[in-house]
Structure 1
Amino acid sequence: MLDIYWGCLFGGLIFALVTLIFGDLLGDAFQGLFHSFSLDHFDILQPMVLVSGITVFGGTGAVLTLYTQLLTVIIAILALILAVVLSILIYFAYVKPMKNSENSIAYSMQDLVGIPGQVSVTIPAEGYGEVILKIGAGHSNHIAVSQSGQELPIGTKIFVIKVEKSIVSVVNQI
């Protein structure tokens, strides 16, 4: 059983080193080759989570086998429990937050509806001005018209109500 633990430990370490050193190179070489086998909908099956669990299983099993007098079955169960717990911890502490932190600067004009912003160029009662909207990780300026027909001075907090022909209709945030 000790050989299995060492194999899991060293297999995980080698995978980590190969990924660290050659990750981008291998990703470019096999670009799209494995997309049909994607497990993106099973986030818990991400390679980082699986390999971390296997490595922890191997390391825990090897240490417990060498330094304790516990039964082989108990060592295997403890190693498996620790591997599962640490895999779940890695998933919730690292993988899931990293997936959720991906920002894109792409947006459609219809995505602007409901977004708060601020007037940067006064919007007259019957005319056009400009607003600044925070979108994703950045800011974007847009031509705007007052939906209520009232003048909106610089600095007024607004909401986008609708978008028509690349012009945003806004109202005072009050």
Structure 2
Amino acid sequence: MTLFGLPIETLYLYMLIIAAALTIIYMLFGDVLEGIGEVLPIANPILILAFITFFSATGYLLETLTSISSLLIILTAIFIALILDTLLNVFILIPLASAEESLGYTEDSLIGRVGKIIIPIPADGYGEVVIESKSGRISKPVTAYDNQPIPEGAEVLILDIKEGVLYVEPYDKNKLDVDELS
């Protein structure tokens, strides 16, 4: 079968090459188009490019390897591309989108958390603290809020953050603050 004066196999191959090039360009400059997927989930550029890639690859393979009619190959390629695109969305893209949000943190979200000193803080100096979380460990530079030394292994409460440095004070979970009781 010929379309636009070219054999259909050639058209499938051109579509595959163009979709691959657009996918690479999207990977490099995708942040510009990221909002399109938020407004219209069906118009997600990743899913559109994946559909074109699956459709053209399936069509090319079926045209070159079988003797089925071209119209049946087009319908089969559309069906296979829809199934693979749906599987890609449900099992890869949706879980990745939710995982990306859950792993991030802001510095302001660290205020009020408890960490453990791994490099002791000298008087009027800096050390290092590690903060445990569900997604891993966060290590940050730290200084004492009241400029007093804090030994290695001590638990500390993060009170403030200025210019990427955490300001902490020793934390004793067994000691109740008078303000908490009133």
TM bucket normalised to smaller? 0.5 to 0.7
Distance 1:40 1:173 in 2: 46
**What does 1:66-105 correspond to in 2, within 5 Å?**
66=64, 67-69=66-68, 72-73=71-72, 75-91=73-89, 92-93=91-92, 97=96, 100=100
| Aligned counterpart in structure 2 of residue 7 of structure 1, from 11, 17, 23 | 11
Indicate the residue corresponding to 1:54 in structure 2. Answer: 52
* Secondary structure in structure 1 of the residue aligned to 2:36: coil
Report Cα offsets for 1:139-163 as digits up to 9, x if no partner: 21122359xxxx9641134453x43
Q: CA deviation at 1:44?
A: 6.4
* Secondary structure in structure 2 of the residue aligned to 1:54: helix
Distance 2:42 2:155 in 1: 42
Indicate the residue corresponding to 2:109 in structure 1. Answer: 111
Q: CA deviation at 1:97?
A: 3.4
Distance 1:89 1:140 in 2: 40
Q: CA deviation at 1:59?
A: 2.3
* Number of aligned residues: 157
Contact 1:121 1:130 in 2 (8 A): yes
| Aligned counterpart in structure 2 of residue 39 of structure 1, from 19, 32, 36 | 36
Q: Which has the higher contact order (CA 8 A, sep 6+)?
A: 1
Report Cα offsets for 1:16-65 as digits up to 9, x if no partner: 236648975xx5xxxx9x66x93141566443332121121122134334
TM-score of the two chains, using structure 1 as the length reference? 0.54
Contact 1:6 1:58 in 2 (8 A): no
| Root mean square deviation of aligned Cα | 5.1
Q: CA deviation at 1:6?
A: 5.0
* Secondary structure in structure 2 of the residue aligned to 1:38: helix
Structure 1: stretches of 5+ with no match in the other structure: none
Distance 2:137 2:48 in 1: 31
Identity of aligned residues (%): 19
Alignment CA distance shift 1:14-1:129 (3 Å): closer
